[in-house]
Structures are given as structure tokens and as C-alpha cells.
Amino acid sequence: MIRSNSPGREALRKLLRDRLAFASLCVIGIYVVIAVFSALNWLPFDYANRLGPSYAKPNAQFWLGTDFLGRDVFAKILYGAKVAFSVGMVASLIAIPIGACLGAIAGYFGGWIDELVVWVYTTITSVPQILLLLSLSFVLGRGLTAIYIAVGLTSWVGICRLIRAEVLKHKELDYVTAARALGAGNLRIILRHIFPNVFHLLIIDFSLRFIYAIKSEAILSYLGLGVQGEPSWGIMIADAKEELLRGIWWQLTAATGAMFFIVLALNILGDALRDALDPRLET
Amino acid sequence: MTSYVVRRILYAIPILFGVSLVTFILFHVVGGDPVLTLLGKHASVDEMQELRHQYGFDRPMVLQFVRYLGQIVTFNFERSFQTKQTIGKMLADGATVSLWLAVPPFFISQFMSIVLAMLAAAFRGRMADRFIVIMSVLGMSVSVLAYILFGQFFLAFKLNWFPISGYESDFPDRITYLVLPWIIWIVISIGADVRFYRTIFLEELNQDYVRTAHAKGASPFRVLFVHVFRNALLPIITHVVIEIPFLFMGSLLLEAFFGIPGLGNLAVNAFNNADWPVVKAVTLLGAVLYILGNLISDLLYAKADPRVAL
């Protein structure tokens, strides 16, 4: 029997053989399940209703203690996953299509189109990112929608640059010339021929982009521009600013820990994906 | 070479124009009417009209933009809505403080990262390398906010080594307030830098000249510190020079948290008070510095590698 040996399957096999990558994939999976459950309100308890004494220490009933209003910190952590993941997903849905399309068009057509795209992204990178993030979320008003747009619009440049450089290289290769000789149009060449060859960059970018999104959400929420009236890890950290000096450490530790494990898992997965998917690294 | 320099400088002009356009659109078109924030809730219509006229908000957008460009070229911004100070002076004061905050930890952390990255590259795949990489990834995964909060809690509050927050403009006293932010800065930035430099050194170690050097009998120590280091210097310089303009901006989070009156703190305060002239000026200053940093690093690169300028 002949086993298929497609590059995608090969990469997946490599990824699963890497125990560390597999473990981080599992961690991410657990977070995803929690985020989906909290988004659909399937969690067995509600963070707003599960009340105890104000600032209770971690105990058997409240595993991670309670906050000022007596709400369960553990429940807030679980609900916070929803905000973090929605920022990651929605910002990616904004940034990746913009970045990939502009990058592919600029790299493929060259000329004034390329110059225009390069001008746009150089302009955007020239504005200090945190100021751009702050300005955008301020201009758009406080709240989650503003964060989605701000994070999405400030983060498409990296993938655009990457795709542009890659498409520049690919359009000179023989397979593109062959496709053109067979009469394929520009759109077909970009989508059917070049795109599959640069697709792995989008997957790698996606895992790293999530880190940026989660961190940005925390910083914006911390600065008071973020989510309102919903638990988020950034807000929990912002609350902890005053709590810590009074010896109330559990809320900050819990939020930091929740962010730490997902970011760590994404970091490791990003590296593993690069090793598995980038054919140039093959020895 | 001269034509390359001229070309690069000319290239900065459209970028600057783009940045002006972006900030203009953000603050004038989307940002709403600043007159309302200036006068508060109880403003009369006449007052609002007068102030709009004074700031030129009643003129067509295109004319406003031209006026704005004029302000940028002459670096003559209005006064702050909030403090009524001239913005130039506010920026100069803020930049001095930010440089004090940013420069020492930046160079210390770059130096430490390069040394650690060379160690990791020298022992690649072995225990020392693994340890350094794992520590870097762990360090990168902790939230910046957590470093700041826990750093203040343990080092300043529990151990009482440093003041909890604040700033003193006198020279020797200044340092006592800055050491804790410096330490936190180094811890925050070192992980990513070590990994970045390690990749550079590993790429160099795969080059043919390294094999040649080994073959002719150079000691591994000599290969790493003489041959590889000199070749890796180019990306290192680019990396460092590009970061330098950001040092003027300090660190927004650190400054805001510790109450250090640098540019970052200025920006956060201006945001909270809707003090748009200051926000615009800081944003533009940041952009100009970034463009300058890019320009200088490109020119240095061309100097080090003459092929670039062709």
C-alpha cells in the first residue's frame, strides 16, 4: 500500500511527535474549550452569582479566593478566557486577510501598487505601536469592539511584509512561469499556485499573533480602555494594583498564571510550527 | 553612496507625510470635536463657535490639514489644552526623563543578551543552551504587567530596597527611584533579545567560513569571538540602532506605573484628559524618531556592507 506523503501530513506527523508541542497543543485545546463554554454560558456557574465574603483567601469553596465584591476569582478567570480568545480571533480575522491580500498583491504586481502598499505599512510602523493602539481605542470609544479593531489594524503589517517578500521570490520561479504559459490568469496564479506555497506562514503567524492580541488586551484593559463590565485578565491585573499592597495576592497571581500558560503554550507551538512547516529549515 | 544617502533621505518625506495624514485623520476627523472637551458641559454656543474659530476647526478639512502640516514642518505645536504650557518644552522635559529611564537598562540588557546568546550558540543543543532557551521562553511568557506589579511588591514593598514609586529631579536622588524600573526593564526585554541574538549567531555558525576557520585549526573560542562575532556585528548594530529612537519614548507602562514624568507618562496623562495637542505631538515625535532611526541604521548598514548602496 502506498502511504500518502503530502507535506501537510508530514508536518502534522512531525508536530505530534514533538512531545512539547503536543503538550502545548493540549493546553491550548483546554483554553479553547473553556473560552467556548464561557462564551455559550455553558459553565456550571456564573461569575456574577457565585458570591462569598469580600476578599476571601483561596479555600476549598473558592479555589482562587474572591474579589472585592466577593465574586469567585476562579470563575472570573474562566470567563476571562472568552475575552482573551475573542480578541485573538477577531483581531486575526481583521489582520490576516488585510495583510495577506495586500502583501500578495504588492509582491505579485510590483510597480506603483507595491510602492503604495509599502508606503502604507511603513507609515503605520512609524507611529509608535502602543500610541497607535491607544489612539485607535480612544477614538473608537472604550470597549471590546474598539480593542478588536485597534489590535487588528495595528498588527497586519508583519504578515503583509512576510507574504510580500515570499511572493516576490515565488513569482520568479519556474512553476509560476509554467502556469502562466498554460494560460492561467493573475488571480488564478496567486490563489491556486502561489498561495498554497506561502500558506504555512499564515499558520505560524496566527500562533504568534494570538500572543500579541492577548497581551494587548491586558495592557489596554489595564490602562482603562478595555472591556467594561465583563471579567478580563487585564482588568483583574489592573484591580490588583491596589490589592497587592494590602496583601491580596490571589487575583493577580491567578490572572498572571492564566495568561502565562496560554502564552507559553503559544510560544512553544509557534516554534514547533516553524520547525515543522518551514521547508527551508530541513536538514 | 551619495546618491543612496540622498535617496534614503528623500524617501523619509512621503513617510512623514503619511504619518501626518494618519494622525490628522485620527484626531481631527474621527476623534470628534475637541471644543467639547475643552469647555466642558456648560459651554454656550457662542463660546464654542469662538473657540472653534480660534483653533481653526471651522475651516475646510483640507485647509486644516495644510495648517497642520505647517505646524509639523516648523515644529510649532499649540499649547497643551490641560496645562497651557508650550508643548515643545513639555516634550523636551519629558524626553530627558525618559532617556534617564531607558538608556542604562537598554544597554545593559543588550550586552547581557549578546553574551547569553553567544553562550547558548557555543553550546548549541546541549544543557547550557537548553537552559538559556527555556528561561528565555518562560520569561517572555509572563505578562509585562505582572513583572511590574510583583517587582514593586517584592523589591520595594516587602524588602524595602527601593522607593515604591515617584521621581526626584535632583541628580543623585533620581537614581534611587530609577533602579527598580531599570531592573524590571532588563527582565522584561532580555528573553526576546536572547532568542533574537541566538538565531543570528546560529545562522553565522552555519556559514562556510566557520568550517574553514575550524579546519585551519582556530580554537572554538577564537572562532566564536573573533570570526563569528565580527560577522554578526552587522545585524546586531541594525537591531540596536533601530531601537535607539524608542529610548526617547521611555516605557509608557513603566513610567505610568511608577509615576516617572517622562514622555510615556505625558502621553498617558494626555490620553486620559483628552489633551489632543499633546497626544499628537508625542505621536509625531515618536514617528519622526523612528524614521530617523531607520535612516541611520540603513546608512550604517550601507557603510558596513557597500553592496547595499548599489
B199 close to A (CB below 8 A): no
* Distance of residue B272 Cα from the nearest chain A Cα, in angstroms: 9
Q: How far is residue A59's CA from residue A65's CA, in Å, rounded to a whole number?
A: 6
Q: SS3 of B86, please?
A: strand
B145 to A122: CB separation less than 8 angstroms, yes or no: no
Q: Which residues contact B235 (CB under 8 A, 6 or more apart)?
A: B200
- Kindly report the average pLDDT of chain B as a whole number: 81
Supply the pLDDT for residue B112. 93
Q: Residue A128: how many CA atoms within 13 Å on its side-chain side?
A: 29
A and B: number of Cβ contacts within 8 A: 115
Report whether pLDDT(A133) > 60. yes
A73-109 helix and A19-39 helix, angle to the nearest 10 degrees: 110
Count of Cβ atoms closer than 10 Å to residue B173 Cβ: 12
Q: pLDDT band at B122, cuts 50/70/90?
A: confident
- In the predicted model, what is the mean pLDDT of residues A250-259? 87
Supply the pLDDT for residue B309. 65
Report whether pLDDT(B289) > 70. yes
Q: How far is residue B121's CA from residue B119's CA, in Å, rounded to a whole number?
A: 5
- The three cell numbers of residue A116 are 503604495
Q: How far is CA A248 from CA A71, A79, A81, A241, in A?
A: 14, 21, 22, 10
Count of Cβ atoms closer than 10 Å to residue A86 Cβ: 18
Q: How far is residue B225's CA from residue A46's CA, in Å, rounded to a whole number?
A: 59
- Kindly report the average pLDDT of chain A as a whole number: 82
Q: How far is residue B235's CA from residue B244's CA, in Å, rounded to a whole number?
A: 15
Torsional sign, CA B70, B72, B73, B76: positive
What ranges do the domains of chain B cover?
2-74, 92-304
B225 close to A (CB below 8 A): no
Q: How far is residue B30's CA from residue B71's CA, in Å, rounded to a whole number?
A: 20
Supply the pLDDT for residue B255. 86
Query: For chain B, how many residues are written?
Result: 310
Count of Cβ atoms closer than 10 Å to residue B52 Cβ: 16
Supply the pLDDT for residue B39. 66
Query: Do residues B147 and B187 make contact, with C-beta atoms less than 8 angstroms apart?
Result: yes
B18 neighbourhood in chain A, CB within 8 Å: 119-120, 122-123, 126
A136 neighbourhood in chain B, CB within 8 Å: 26
Report whether pLDDT(A4) > 70. no
Q: How far is residue A159's CA from residue A209's CA, in Å, rounded to a whole number?
A: 10
Of residues B257 and A65, more confidence is placed in B257
* Distance of residue B282 Cα from the nearest chain A Cα, in angstroms: 9
Of residues A47 and A119, more confidence is placed in A119
DSSP state of B309: G
As a 3-state breakdown, chain B gives helix, strand, coil percent values, each rounded to 5, of: 80, 0, 20
Q: How far is CA A230 from CA A56, A260, B10, B144, B249, in A?
A: 21, 20, 49, 22, 32
Q: Which residues contact B293 (CB under 8 A, 6 or more apart)?
A: B241, B242, B243, B244, B245, B246
Supply the pLDDT for residue B127. 87
Supply the pLDDT for residue A105. 92
Supply the pLDDT for residue B30. 63
Q: How far is residue B242's CA from residue B224's CA, in Å, rounded to a whole number?
A: 25
Q: pLDDT band at A280, cuts 50/70/90?
A: low
Q: How far is residue B255's CA from residue B263's CA, in Å, rounded to a whole number?
A: 8
- In the predicted model, what is the mean pLDDT of residues B53-60? 72
Q: What is the pLDDT of residues A5-16, one digit of tens each?
A: 677 777 777 777
Segment among B59-68, B163-172, B284-293 with least mean pLDDT: B163-172
Q: What is the pLDDT of residues B181-199, one digit of tens each?
A: 888 889 888 988 898 898 8
Report whether pLDDT(A102) > 90. yes
Looking at chain A, which residue has its C-alpha nearest residue B27?
Answer: A139
DSSP state of B308: G
Q: How far is residue B148's CA from residue B154's CA, in Å, rounded to a whole number?
A: 10
Query: Do residues A240 and A231 make contact, with C-beta atoms less than 8 angstroms apart?
Result: no
Looking at chain A, which residue has its C-alpha nearest residue B138?
Answer: A264
Report whether pLDDT(B108) > 90. yes
Supply the pLDDT for residue A60. 67
* Partners of B225 in beta bridges: none
Segment among A140-154, B2-16, B80-94 with least mean pLDDT: B80-94
Q: How far is CA B202 from CA A170, B117, B121, B212, B215, in A?
A: 26, 9, 6, 16, 18
Q: What is the pLDDT of residues A183-209, one digit of tens each?
A: 888 888 888 888 888 888 888 888 888
- In the predicted model, what is the mean pLDDT of residues A27-56? 78
Report whether pLDDT(A1) > 50. no
CA A155 to chain centre: 10
A119 close to B (CB below 8 A): yes
Q: Residues 2-31, chain B: which have Cβ within 8 Å of A?
A: 14-15, 18-19, 21-23, 26-27, 30-31
- Percentage of chain A exceeding pLDDT 90: 10
Report whether pLDDT(A72) > 80. no
Number of helices (H), then strands (E), belonging to chain A: the values are 12, 0
Q: pLDDT band at B269, cuts 50/70/90?
A: confident
Supply the pLDDT for residue A95. 92
Supply the pLDDT for residue A283. 39
Torsional sign, CA B190, A77, A31, A210: negative
Of residues B11 and B111, more confidence is placed in B111
B295 neighbourhood in chain A, CB within 8 Å: none
- Percentage of chain A exceeding pLDDT 70: 92
A244 to B249: CB separation less than 8 angstroms, yes or no: no
- In the predicted model, what is the mean pLDDT of residues A131-137? 79
Looking at chain B, which residue has its C-alpha nearest residue A261?
Answer: B141
Supply the pLDDT for residue B299. 81
Segment among B74-88, B234-248, B293-307 with least mean pLDDT: B74-88
- In the predicted model, what is the mean pLDDT of residues A40-46? 74
Report whether pLDDT(B46) > 90. no
* Partners of A71 in beta bridges: A51
B279 close to A (CB below 8 A): yes
Q: SS3 of A51, please?
A: strand
Q: pLDDT band at B310, cuts 50/70/90?
A: low
Among the listed residues A133, A158, A139, A141, the one whose alpha carbon sits nearest the alpha carbon of residue A218: A133
Torsional sign, CA A143, A145, A151, A154: negative
CA A79 to chain centre: 18
Count of Cβ atoms closer than 10 Å to residue B118 Cβ: 20
CATH of domain B92-304: 1.10.3720.10
Q: pLDDT band at A282, cuts 50/70/90?
A: very low
Query: What beta strand segments (E) does chain A contain?
Result: none
Q: How far is residue B166's CA from residue B176's CA, in Å, rounded to a whole number?
A: 10
Q: What is the pLDDT of residues B206-254, one digit of tens each?
A: 888 888 988 898 888 888 888 888 888 888 887 888 777 777 766 888 8
* Distance of residue A76 Cα from the nearest chain B Cα, in angstroms: 18
ipTM of the complex: 0.78
